[in-house]
Amino acid sequence: MSSRRYTTCRLILLLLVIIGVSACSSEDCPINNTVAGKMLFYNHLDDAVAINGTLTVSVVRPQGDSVVLNQKSNATELSFPLSYTHETDTLIFEYNGGIAYDSLYISHTNVPTLVSVDCGMAMFHTITAASSTHHVIDTLIIKFPEVNYDERENIQVIYHTAD
Amino acid sequence: MNAKISRLFIILLISVMSPLIFPQGGKVMAMVPASPIAATEAGKSSPLEESRGRLFRGIYLSADVFGYIYPIFVKDKYYSAELSATANLRNRFFPVVEVGFGHTDMVSQLYEIGYRTQAPYYRIGMDYNMQYKNGKPNYIYLGGRIGYTSFKYSVDAPAMKDPVWGDEAPVLFTDMPCRAVWAEAVAGVRAEIAKNFYMGWSLRYKYPIHKGPIVNGGPWYIPGFGASSKAAFGATYSITYYLNFSKKRP
């Protein structure tokens, strides 16, 4: 076999190997594909606190409320959904089976996001405002407005504390 | 991912080593470079002396056909065609300009996401002949590139159903503008298959420098860069014609 023909064969062989390896590759999709807001509970001293007793959280929908947390004891945090199409969502906090209530109002944008054609779409959000009634809650502070796969703390809930 | 990188590294290593082991095509040679003094014959300059001679030797005009072969073997149907011009400076330095056109119009089977784009892309860079002392037309090279493209892309997908509220959010992004800049590290070989005709391939590691504006997650496929949001590997397989401006072989 002439040297040029040999070189040609070698290059073609290498090309086929490269194509074979490339064909085995695949896109790495995010392991965590849940999009949810996250809020943690604090007192006035900026210490993390747990809710005394039970906490039930519902989201308000036109077709009826939906429970997202059911009588959780000593809750220290909450993962909450945000709607795909509404600009403001309302969460109802029910303490100790109905002894007290608070309503939380979360305003947000909705950003349909292309993760990749192999991993699908996800709805990300940006929280623009957060407020509440003040029966048990004192203040809401937006800590990190972007709601995506990162699972970062989005909102701090500051509770009244007994003096 | 690590396994993929390992396989590519092994292939690259074997590929880089093979011309050193078989520099004359099939004849096993000792891996000792010929002495420039021994190579000198009466009336001829040594390869080393040639490498210090005339600066501009010629131009390689190449067409990359890998961008149309690769999609045959993968499920993601995106294509690219590319032309390049490479100047031969003392058979050692090779400044290069590459101009290509990438396009895709595909629908993913799993999520039924349609993605469309088409745009030209450009790269400039330099290769370095790792075997310039041999004075042979076949050589291994290492190099770098800077790539740029400005393009628009469109995405359409089935409406997203809200699992809690039950609403549906439509998904249709049309003509989203984007620009991308990236860097490439290149390793390749070029071999003469007939007088002034060459064939070769290169492996490329691509790293994004800038991509934006990022809206709705940004683009999936970028012409010239590929389909990845992070670093990507690429390859070229080129047919080349050499315009020889010196009387000697490159």
Give the residue from B162, B172, B190, B216 with the most A CB atoms within 10 Å of its CB, the best one to mutate: B162
Nearest to B217 among A19, A28, A114 (CB): A114
B13 within some domain: no
Interface predicted TM-score (ipTM): 0.80
B45 within some domain: no
Side-chain half-sphere exposure of B189, counting CA atoms within 13 A: 23
Q: Alpha-carbon distance B219 to B208, whole Å?
A: 13
State the total domains in chain B. 1
The amino acid sitting at A91 is L
Domains of chain A, by residue range, sit at 37-159
Q: Alpha-carbon distance A24 to B5, whole Å?
A: 12
What tokens does B225 get? 């860069």
In 3-state terms chain A splits into helix, strand, coil percentages (rounded to 5) of: 15, 45, 40
Structural domain containing residue B146:
56-244
Residue B41 in this model has a pLDDT that exceeds 80:
no
B3 within some domain: no
Q: Alpha-carbon distance A35 to A21, whole Å?
A: 34
Task: Report chain A residues whose CB lies below 8 A from the CB of B200.
Answer: 11
Q: Read off the pLDDT of residues A50-76 as tens digits, 9 standing for 90 and up.
A: 999 999 999 999 999 999 999 999 999
The amino acid sitting at B62 is S
A18 in B contact zone (CB under 8 Å): yes
Quickly state the pLDDT bin for B46 (edges 50, 70, 90): low
Task: Report chain A residues whose CB lies below 8 A from the CB of B113.
Answer: 114, 117, 120-121
pTM of the full structure: 0.76
Residue B39 in this model has a pLDDT that exceeds 50:
no
B51 within some domain: no
Q: Alpha-carbon distance B94 to B59, whole Å?
A: 9
Yes or no, beta carbons of B11 and A14 under 8 Å apart: yes
Q: Are B221 and B107 in contact (CB under 8 A)?
A: no
Residue A14 in this model has a pLDDT that exceeds 80:
no
Indicate the average pLDDT of chain B.
81
Triad A8, B4, B9: Cα angle to 5°: 55
B249 within some domain: no
3-class state of residue A88 by DSSP: strand
Q: Alpha-carbon distance A114 to A131, whole Å?
A: 30
Q: Are B208 and B231 in contact (CB under 8 A)?
A: yes
Quickly state the pLDDT bin for A134 (edges 50, 70, 90): very high
Q: Read off the pLDDT of residues B202-249 as tens digits, 9 standing for 90 and up.
A: 999 999 999 999 999 999 999 999 987 788 888 899 999 999 887 666
CATH code of the domain containing B95: 2.40.160.20
Our CA-based measurement puts residue A97 at a distance from the nearest CA of chain B, in whole angstroms, of 23
Q: Among candidates A145, A124, A144, which has minimal Cα distance to A30?
A: A124
Nearest to B111 among A22, A84, A120 (CB): A120
The amino acid sitting at B176 is M
